Amino acid sequence: MKTIDEIERVHGDLTALRRDIHAHPELAFQETRTSTLVAERLRGWGLEVHTGLGKTGVVGVLRAGSGKKTIGLRADMDALPMPEHNRFAHKSTISGRMHGCGHDGHTTMLLGAAQYLSTHRDFDGTVVFIFQPAEEGGNAGARAMMQDGLFDRFPCDAVFGIHNMPGMPVNQFGFRAGPTMASSNRWDIVIKGVGGHAAQPHASVDPIIVAADMVHALQTVISRSKNPLDQAVLSITQIHAGDAYNVIPGEAVLRGTVRTYTVEALDKIEADMRRIVTTLPQVYGGTGELDFVRAYPPLVNWENETAFAAQVAEDAFGAKNVLRDMPPFMGAEDFSFFLEAIPGTYLFLGNGDGGHRLESYHGMGPCQLHNPNYDFNDALLPVGATYWVKLVQAFLSKA
Ligand SMILES: [Zn+2]
Ligand SMILES: [Zn+2]
């Protein structure tokens, strides 16, 4: 494990910066304080700075030598609409908002790398630093930046992202080629029957009976219709109908989510759901409609870029700190939009088990993402920043 000495020397500054961002969390597309802070730092280090991509996104461009290659490095800046239960000095100053996913740390690690690289310029080519808004909650800040021309204005040969991973040992890197995170999709089903008096069911079409049947029928999409080798989840998370003891309602609503690792599996599941939703109610004399919204596509890491990035981590931090075949997980991440457009990989950096913040856990167990007692581990700041620098130096190596 070897971080860059010069980055270690600013560990205190990076920690203060990370905690400042943590104390001032901002929600999707409202990251004005954070993006102003990012833009000011980048300008101060002599980078070319572009603001307003995806509303609050910031891009910093740094060139060295005459190389034609370009690497994109991405950090996310947004916080979550959730309360923070930590009691430390840098806890959120805004009630109901929290950096519960460590994007404060991601932003700071990338700034640490920009600071070092701007001073040394020991690479040959162009680095595009991408600070994106609105990763959380299906807001798709990554897509918003692309719609504002991110990769047209700043074409990148490859793009890389990092997420911290609680439960993984501190300083351990995790890589995986291929499908790594799930697609995230939400859906609404409206079942229409015929409302009436609860004592006269023969004069109505009861949508609650249809809904009850549909709950079971939808489970067969996963258990019977999909290839068992494709991993997928279908969860019904809401069911609403009726307001009175003696009224058969005219309508029932079901809502939920579907997660898959491939677009093919998703296409199949959506089609199977649509068939059930439109035909099953007819058995009872009702009708059904499905509104299926694809929020984030599956995150699929590119083979070559993953191998390249893993090698950089091994060279810098030793093979024992690098997992090359990290298990996939069902969370979703909008970096997947970038990886649909250009090659790259999304890697994970262990955040530890929360022992670095023992005072904040109240015996509640390990530090989980989106937990009100979560905190980014400041020990990672020089590790992540060093990794970014090494990746740039390897990708844009001087001949
Ligand atoms: Zn998150
Ligand atoms: Zn996150």
- Joined tokens for residue 169: 């040992």
Residues 299-342 pLDDT 10s: 999 999 999 999 999 999 999 999 999 999 888 999 999 999 99
Rounded CA-CA distance 115/113 in Å is 5
Is 103 part of any known ligand binding site? yes
Structural element, H or E, at residue 162: strand 158-166
- Asked if 104 contacts 163 with a C-beta cutoff of 8 angstroms, the reply is no
- 62 C-alpha to ligand 2 centroid (Å): 26
Is 156 part of any known ligand binding site? no
Is 356 part of any known ligand binding site? no
- Asked if 346 contacts 180 with a C-beta cutoff of 8 angstroms, the reply is yes
Strand segments (E) across 48-109: 48-53, 57-64, 70-76
- 279 C-alpha to ligand 2 centroid (Å): 39
- 112 C-alpha to ligand 1 centroid (Å): 22
- 363: DSSP letter: T
- Asked if 336 contacts 296 with a C-beta cutoff of 8 angstroms, the reply is yes
- Asked if 134 contacts 54 with a C-beta cutoff of 8 angstroms, the reply is yes
- Domains, the chain, in order of start with CATH, read 5-181+299-395 (3.40.630.10), 184-296 (3.30.70.360)
Residue 332, φ and ψ in degrees, nearest 5? -120, 160
CA 203 to chain centre: 49
- 224 C-alpha to ligand 2 centroid (Å): 33
Reported confidence tier of residue 365, pLDDT bands at 50, 70, 90: very low
Residues 82-132 pLDDT 10s: 999 998 999 999 999 999 999 999 999 999 999 999 999 999 999 999 999
- Joined tokens for residue 166: 């609680």
- 18 C-alpha to ligand 2 centroid (Å): 15
Reported confidence tier of residue 360, pLDDT bands at 50, 70, 90: very low
CA 242 to chain centre: 36
- Asked if 233 contacts 280 with a C-beta cutoff of 8 angstroms, the reply is no
- Joined tokens for residue 254: 């079901």
146-155, 193-202, 223-232 — which is least confidently predicted?
A: 223-232
Reported confidence tier of residue 356, pLDDT bands at 50, 70, 90: low
Is 367 part of any known ligand binding site? no
- 369 C-alpha to ligand 1 centroid (Å): 6
Closest CA to 163 of 101, 207, 239: 101
- Asked if 324 contacts 224 with a C-beta cutoff of 8 angstroms, the reply is no
pLDDT at 343 over 70: yes
Structural element, H or E, at residue 303: helix 303-317
- 99 C-alpha to ligand 1 centroid (Å): 9
- Asked if 170 contacts 353 with a C-beta cutoff of 8 angstroms, the reply is no
- 113 C-alpha to ligand 1 centroid (Å): 22
Least distant ligand from the CA of 100: 1
Query: For 171, left (φ over 0), alpha (ψ -120 to 50), or beta?
Result: left
> Tell me, what amino acid is at 21?
I
Average pLDDT over residues 149-158: 98
Rounded CA-CA distance 204/186 in Å is 30
pLDDT for residue 72: 98
How do strand 247-248 and strand 48-53 relate by DSSP bridges? unpaired
pLDDT for residue 352: 86
- 354: DSSP letter: S
User: Within 10 Å of residue 155's Cβ, how many Cβ atoms?
Assistant: 12
Rounded CA-CA distance 36/58 in Å is 9
pLDDT for residue 355: 65
pLDDT at 398 over 50: yes
CA 102 to chain centre: 11
The three-state secondary structure class of 233 is strand
- Asked if 364 contacts 357 with a C-beta cutoff of 8 angstroms, the reply is no
The three-state secondary structure class of 176 is coil
- Asked if 344 contacts 196 with a C-beta cutoff of 8 angstroms, the reply is no
Is 163 part of any known ligand binding site? yes
- Side by side, which strands form the sheet with 70-76? 48-53, 57-64, 125-132, 70-76, 158-166, 344-352, 173-174, 322-323
